[in-house]
Amino acid sequence: MILHSKPWITEEDLKAVEETLKGGMIAQGQTTKDFETVVSDWVGAVGGVAVASGSAALQLALLTLDIAKNDEVILPTYVCESVMEAVVSVGAKPILCDVGYNWVMEPKNVVHKISPNTKAIIVPHMYGIFADIIAFKEFNIPIIEDCAQAFGDKSIDKITADIAVLSFHPTKCLTSGEGGMLVSLKNEHIQKARLIRDGSELANTMRLIAPLSDIQAALGISQLKRYPNLLKRRREIAGKYLTTLAAISLKLVNYDAKASSMFFRLPLKVDGGLDKYQVSFFEKGIQIRRGVDKLLHRFMGLNDKNFPVSVELFNQTISIPIYPALSDDEVNRINKALYLLNG
């Protein structure tokens, strides 16, 4: 069975982890600091604060911005549920909005959700498709740029908001096994986030105990050293898929296959969605999935009619395997299976 997602672990990765284990310091230490330095440099930030997961990074970002009880945070309904869980964890109220047909938030989805209690807007780059952060900054409300699915090209893809969060989950473009990081364009945000993570009365909040170990950091650094090759492989695979999809005249909804895209996912909007195609792909030994597991507004008992685009995308979007660990043979099998979508 070709899995939907899988990390690409090499001998170099294993050696890096082994050397850290032999070194004796396996908790959060110098290697974690080194990881923070190389990652923040990669994304154009002044610094980074590594934590145990992308969710913890998001929670840290909210705490850094002093988001607390009764504050409102706007986020899309079409996103991983851990995003909303982070908002709830700090006592804030999630305010959900719809998305555009390119799977990401647009300012028009947000403007009518803003209130005097709005203290932050979380803007995810879903599937590695970039939302227009500059446009959101026009609201003069703190923006948290969710780059969990958008760790991109060092020469092109830099963070734009004052605070951004990254995820190094095994399914993400860059993995440290588990892990996440807050990165920022402002030194004061980095300093405060470190106080919160490491514990200090100067932070004026409880410590966020979610360390990233040197073992995990060693894996992350090793992966980053060959990250250009990881991106290259994703683009090669995407190129093959896109050629086939063009041949069967499957329209990709506003998906720009530009060279700077990291192709974390290649979302396909097809009539019938997963319900129609899951079995036929499974019979060919290929695992496909929905774009997201569940729409967040349904957790809150909100009406589908208030989120029409998200509901349509949820019903019609499928996600196919696209990751560097795929062999050429597996890519060819998936590519041939795409013809199932032609009708």
CA distance 100 to 302: 19
**Residue spans of beta strands (DSSP E) within 72-220:** 72-76, 93-97, 118-124, 143-146, 163-167, 180-184
Between the CA of residue 266 and those of 262, 269, 300, what are the distances in Å?
A: 10, 10, 29
Domains and their CATH numbers in the chain: 11-225 (3.40.640.10), 227-341 (3.90.1150.10)
What DSSP string describes 4-22? S------HHHHHHHHHHHH
Residue 213's closest CA among 12, 11, 31, 57?
31
10 Å Cβ neighbour count for 117?
A: 12
Residue pair 49/61 in contact by the 8 Å Cβ criterion: no
pLDDT digits (tens, 9 = 90+) for 103-112: 999 999 999 9
Find the radius of gyration of the CA atoms of the chain. 20
> Hey, CA dihedral for 157, 160, 162, 163, is it positive or negative?
negative
DSSP category for residue 79:
S
User: What is the chain's pLDDT, residue by residue, as a tens digit (343 residues)?
Assistant: 999 999 999 999 999 999 999 998 899 999 999 999 999 999 999 999 999 999 999 999 999 999 999 999 999 999 999 999 999 999 999 999 999 999 999 999 999 999 999 999 999 999 999 999 999 999 999 999 999 999 988 877 899 999 999 999 999 999 999 999 999 999 999 999 999 999 877 666 778 889 999 999 999 999 999 999 999 999 999 999 988 988 887 766 555 554 456 899 999 999 899 999 999 999 999 999 999 999 999 999 999 999 999 999 999 999 999 999 999 999 999 999 999 887 6
CA distance 186 to 4: 37
Backbone angles phi, psi at 60, to 5 degrees: -65, -40
CA distance 154 to 39: 10
CA distance 212 to 222: 15
Residue 96's closest CA among 106, 111, 110?
110
Sheet of strand 317-319, all strands in order from the earlier edge strand to the far edge: 267-269, 317-319, 289-290
* pLDDT given for residue 250 in this prediction: 74
* pLDDT given for residue 203 in this prediction: 60
